[in-house]
Amino acid sequence: MSDTALLIIDVQVGVVEGEPRAARLDSVLDNLNLAIAKARQRGMPVIFVQHEEDDLPHGSPAWQLHPKLARQDGDALVFKRYGDSFCDTNLAQLLSEHGVNKLWIGGAATDFCVDSTLRNAVSRGYQVTAIADGHTTVSAFALSGEQVVDHFNASWSHTSATPQPLRVLPAAAL
């Protein structure tokens, strides 16, 4: 049993395929699938998180995981209503049951759900690796989606005041 899990957050049709489409989506999907393959080779749990709210109702076509993700029947699913994947979910219990103390994290949206989950995981003492080329978002405010992703990769890379190391690596280096 591995002490590491792969956490893929909110890569759902209605989150990443809207207008505008999420930044670098095709390469992000390829890189997440590479991370999934590496996790499976190492016997790591693969966990998919799905967000739901009034305009993204549970079970709707928009709520579904992106069809290009290499999901398998045995993969865990976590359903959430807040940005942080730990908030009012069974994620912490699921990780504990698997003996996980390290996480690889990717998904959408970089500046909201990925970042809030990553920061909570760090605060909870998990050793976190953000998949640098495995997360995405849409353009917002004055920044393009690409700029937001690049900014967060740089910010996370320079975060050192953490209980465990916070790493930022491309999928190929996992």
Q: 140 pLDDT band (50/70/90 cuts)?
A: confident
* pLDDT score of 97: 97
Query: Could you read off the pLDDT of 12-49 as tens digits, one per residue?
Result: 999 999 989 999 999 999 999 999 999 999 999 999 99
Query: Could you read off the pLDDT of 53-88 as tens digits, one per residue?
Result: 999 999 999 999 999 999 999 999 999 999 999 999
Cβ contact 174:129 at 8 Å: yes
**Domain limits at 21?**
4-173
Burial of 72 (0-12, 13-18, 19+ CB in 10 A): exposed
Q: Which two tokens stand for residue 22?
A: 């999420």
* pLDDT score of 1: 75
Query: Could you read off the pLDDT of 87-131 as tens digits, one per residue?
Result: 999 999 999 999 999 999 999 999 999 999 999 999 999 999 999
DSSP string, 85-126: TTTTSSHHHHHHHTT--EEEEEEE-IIIIIHHHHHHHHHTT-
Which residues are bridge partners to 135 per DSSP? 107
Residue 146's identity, in one-letter code, is E
Q: 149 pLDDT band (50/70/90 cuts)?
A: very high
State yes or no: pLDDT of 169 exceeds 90.
Answer: yes
99 conformational bin, left if phi > 0, alpha if psi -120 to 50, beta if neither: left
Separation CA 78–CA 64 (nearest Å) = 13
Separation CA 50–CA 79 (nearest Å) = 5
Report the domain count for the chain.
Answer: 1
Which residues are bridge partners to 4 per DSSP? 102
Question: Residues with Cβ < 8 Å from 162, sequence gap 6 or more?
Answer: 122
* pLDDT score of 141: 85
Q: What is the CATH number of the domain that holds 143?
A: 3.40.50.850
Q: Which of 48, 42, 37, 47 is nearest to 11 (CA)?
A: 48
